[in-house]
């Protein structure tokens, strides 16, 4: 059986975990968290990064930082994970969904402007599969209407748009280090702060509404409650695992790219949809998906692969059709693409311990399926 996902694990994690336990500094913001911050800031040329307990929490921090209030509107695609919406709904916002592009499954930048009202505060582009949204257009719209841009780059660690790392382009960006993502510490995330006006309050929100970060730097002689906040910092155990993985990121990324390339090479020419990478985008091979003719064909393909020992999955029932979506959101214009395309998509196994040989086996089965053969 080839499982759909096996979380990344590198040898160095053991060494770093031992150090954390020996040093008896297990709570947050110790040596390993700081080393992760430095690694991310240096690698992606961003002034300030703070690790969080998840990407969900990084998005919640963004909503607090931007002072999202009751009835503010936030624009995003409906084809995304629940957290993109929930983080803003928790502050009382109304979510306004915009249709996606069929080629990348990302928000259609040309349909954003029609969704803007006097209440709009934020645009949240989600870089699906680690392939960038059309950020130049999105930033231009945001500037014209004085809106904030929060990039949900949960899937985009190590991807770029016109040379800039995803997550570093909008006012704020968020990463996920959940075990389904390219680099993981089980549960974890980060907020990237590209506008330094947010630096100080971000530290306060993350540290229970206190100025404890300033205290640890010796900038104040005691720390107190200064603003609203919560507890969004991960334990050093998580950071130690993450640092070990980040230090091997180039190698991991190169192998993922080889697997992705092999899938593409062996599946091109079949009567299926394949991912599209626009000019100017370099992606991190977070995901390889194909698109079947329709939902029935998808059900049959997933079943066929399972019977032959391959676990493939689909995801994202559009949020606007969900129970909560009906209460907290509206869809701007008509849903031409979102539902139709989401029903065609199948995700194939892609992870560091997958081999080229595994990909060959999977592609052979898919080719058989489309020839009507049942070997
Ligand atoms: C995984 C994911 C999240 C949530 O990440 P967590 O770290 O699990 O909270 C949010 N948005 C998108 C697009 C994701 O893929």
The answer to whether the beta carbons of residues 188 and 238 sit under 8 Å apart is yes
For the segment 64-85, what is each residue's pLDDT rounded down to a tens digit? 999 999 999 999 999 999 999 9
3-state secondary structure of 49: strand
Domain 12-246 classification at class level = alpha beta
Counting ligand 1 atoms within 8 A of each CB, the residue from 61, 178, 182, 187 with the most, and so the one to mutate, is 178
Architecture of domain 249-370: Alpha-Beta Complex (3.90)
Residue with tokens 């200064």: 226
The answer to whether the beta carbons of residues 146 and 138 sit under 8 Å apart is no
Retrieve residue 342's tokens.
């989401």
HSE at residue 40, side-chain half, CA atoms within 13 A, is 32
For the segment 268-288, what is each residue's pLDDT rounded down to a tens digit? 999 999 999 999 999 999 999
Retrieve residue 88's tokens.
């803003």
What b/e string do you get for 89-123 counting C-beta neighbours within 10 Å, with b at 16 or more?
A: bebebbbbbbbbbbebbbbbbebbeebbeeebbbb
In the chain, where the domains are located: 12-246, 249-370
Pairing of strands 189-193, 48-52: antiparallel
Nearest alpha carbon, ligand 1 atom 5? 55
Nearest alpha carbon, ligand 1 atom 2? 154
375 CA to centre of ligand 1 in angstroms: 37
Cα–Cα dist 309/187, whole Å: 28
Cα–Cα dist 117/326, whole Å: 19
154 CA to centre of ligand 1 in angstroms: 5
For the segment 74-121, what is each residue's pLDDT rounded down to a tens digit? 999 999 999 999 999 999 999 999 999 999 999 999 999 999 999 999
């Amino acid at each position: 059986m080839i499982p759909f996902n096996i979380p990344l694990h590198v040898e160095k994690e053991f060494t770093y975990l031992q150090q954390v336990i020996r040093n008896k500094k297990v709570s947050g913001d110790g040596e390993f968290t700081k080393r992760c911050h430095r690694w991310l800031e240096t690698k992606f040329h961003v002034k300030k990064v703070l690790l969080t307990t998840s990407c969900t929490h990084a998005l919640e921090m963004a909503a607090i930082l931007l002072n999202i209030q009751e009835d503010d509107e936030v624009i995003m695609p409906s084809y995304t994970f629940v957290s993109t919406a929930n983080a803003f709904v928790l502050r009382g916002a109304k979510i306004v969904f915009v249709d996606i592009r069929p080629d990348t499954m990302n928000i259609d930048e040309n349909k954003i402007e029609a969704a803007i009202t006097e209440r709009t505060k934020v645009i949240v582009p989600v870089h699906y599969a680690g392939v960038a949204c059309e950020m130049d257009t999105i930033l231009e719209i945001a500037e014209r209407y004085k809106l904030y841009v929060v990039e949900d780059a949960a899937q985009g660690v190590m991807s770029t748009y016109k040379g800039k790392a995803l997550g570093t382009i909008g006012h704020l960006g968020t990463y996920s280090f959940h075990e389904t993502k390219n680099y993981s510490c089980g549960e974890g995330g980060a907020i990237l702060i590209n506008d330094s006006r947010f630096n100080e309050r971000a530290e306060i929100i993350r540290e229970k509404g206190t100025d404890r970060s300033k205290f640890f730097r010796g900038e104040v002689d005691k720390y107190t409650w200064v603003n609203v906040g919560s507890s969004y910092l991960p334990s050093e155990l998580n950071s130690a695992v993450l640092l070990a993985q980040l230090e091997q990121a180039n190698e991991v990324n190169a192998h993922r790219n080889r697997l992705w390339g092999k899938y593409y090479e062996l599946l091109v020419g079949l009567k299926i949809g394949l991912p599209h990478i626009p000019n100017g985008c370099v992606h991190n091979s977070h995901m390889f998906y194909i698109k079947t003719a329709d939902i029935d064909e998808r059900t049959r393909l997933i079943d066929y692969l399972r019977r032959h020992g391959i676990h493939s999955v689909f995801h994202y029932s559009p949020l606007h059709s969900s129970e909560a979506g009906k209460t907290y959101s509206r869809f701007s214009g008509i849903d031409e693409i979102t539902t139709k395309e989401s029903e065609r998509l199948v995700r194939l196994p892609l992870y560091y311990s997958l081999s080229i040989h595994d990909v060959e086996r999977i592609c052979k089965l898919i080719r058989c399926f489309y020839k009507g053969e049942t070997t």
